[in-house]
Structure 1
């Protein structure tokens, strides 16, 4: 997607969700607090800079005071999904696959992918969550995703790329609804004020291949490998 296409896509998401929010229709996630949620998968992701994380947390502070019962992603869990290789499903464990083969294939694919810059500006939403909008000017992220899709499609490795939806954006989920907002009118007023906030930009020069739960909680995340886009090299986690 080009930047204008991303803007159009985010705006369409926002307008659709806004209609529901204005009717006090917020989709809550009953599994957020479930202790028996066994969904697990593998994701190639990027982390925003500490400065971007701080900006996000700073601008969410009023919302957190107003609606403390909602689920706000901690700074440690904020991420951009490059590609979900195995979408989370109940019963999957890392022991079922050869993780080294996944690391090696990703390493081959990203060998000529350099760093890319992302700009985080404004928010959009789905009926169940609030998202920070990410934008990119060049097509490195799109090209990387296309190469990964091709490589895994030609491999014999288990994957479920694009089965849920074909990811094209650079958004980050920052809030999920655990219950209906106590003050939906004021809540909506607060999130509308975030649509024009500049959360900053950062250079993405490192990617992580991780085993993860549905919410990318740090305590359930297993780092399989870290890829340095500056060197086109891989440092495998021990």
Structure 2
């Protein structure tokens, strides 16, 4: 996949929808009874990158202060959604150590992963930082995970919703109708090609998480140094 083209097409289509008043607010964000949980392998950007992301979020908050903004602790890149969030899944249904074993097997001979965060894109329901792996290491890891989990007997839903191939980080979600959609897109445009920085991934995290990766609802299962 050409990530630049993918992000550009997504931004064009979504920004047009937002300007036309067709954003799609997420009605579940403030639902305290939301019980969708899953298992995710993820990457967290370093503090230098997150400091620059804050600049973007502050600019957005000036225009749309009542939307949902991800705190530092929740910002991430999904490497693989191993079990997609659902109301039916709970941690006591699996043995985490079995999953850790498969992930460790997938990390053998893995080259280092470096991600460049440059520019922003959108969906009709969210704004995202564009992530660009500097080589094929992330894709290679994802393919190993797919192969090893599908060859196991473990419960998993890899690629059941969509085949993950990007490296973006969602940082803002619409939780209500936009009050100033034109001004919001103007603010986004200023960061459309902004350089948020590059970082080398030092570890991966396996977590049991809710739909929004809220720290308060996350159970940390394992770290994998790479």
TM-score when normalising by structure 2: 0.98
Task: Measure how far apart 1:193 and its partner are.
Answer: 1.4
Task: Measure how far apart 1:116 and its partner are.
Answer: 1.2
In the alignment, structure 1 segments of 5+ residues that lack a partner are 230-238
Match of 1:37 in 2: 34
After superposition, what is the alpha-carbon deviation per residue over 1:147-204, rounded to whole angstroms, capped at 9, x for unaligned?
0000011100000001110010100000000111111111111112110111111001
Task: Measure how far apart 1:137 and its partner are.
Answer: 2.2
Match of 1:236 in 2: none
Q: Which moved more, 1:191-200 or 1:160-169?
A: 191-200
Q: Counterparts in 2 of 1:16-35, with a 5 A limit?
A: 16-35=13-32
Of 177, 183, 193 in structure 2, the residue corresponding to residue 186 of structure 1 is 183
Of 185, 201, 207 in structure 2, the residue corresponding to residue 210 of structure 1 is 207
Q: Counterparts in 2 of 1:47-62, with a 5 A limit?
A: 47-62=44-59
TM-score when normalising by structure 1: 0.93
In the alignment, structure 2 segments of 5+ residues that lack a partner are none
Match of 1:234 in 2: none
Match of 2:129 in 1: 132
Instruction: After the TM superposition, list the runs of 4 or more consecutive aligned residues in structure 1 that deviate by more than 2 angstroms.
Output: none
After superposition, what is the alpha-carbon deviation per residue over 1:55-113, rounded to whole angstroms, capped at 9, x for unaligned?
00122212112211100100000000000000000031110111110011111111221
Secondary structure (helix, strand or coil) at the match of 1:112 reads coil
Match of 2:151 in 1: 154
Aligned residue pair count: 226
d(CA) in 2 for partners of 1:116 and 1:195? 24
Match of 1:219 in 2: 216
Task: Measure how far apart 1:114 and its partner are.
Answer: 3.2
After superposition, what is the alpha-carbon deviation per residue over 1:115-150, rounded to whole angstroms, capped at 9, x for unaligned?
211000000111000010000221000000000000
Task: Compute the RMSD of aligned alpha carbons.
Answer: 0.9
1:44 and 1:208 in contact (8 A); partners too? yes
d(CA) in 1 for partners of 2:55 and 2:187? 13
Q: Counterparts in 2 of 1:60-139, with a 5 A limit?
A: 60-139=57-136
Task: Measure how far apart 1:36 and its partner are.
Answer: 0.4
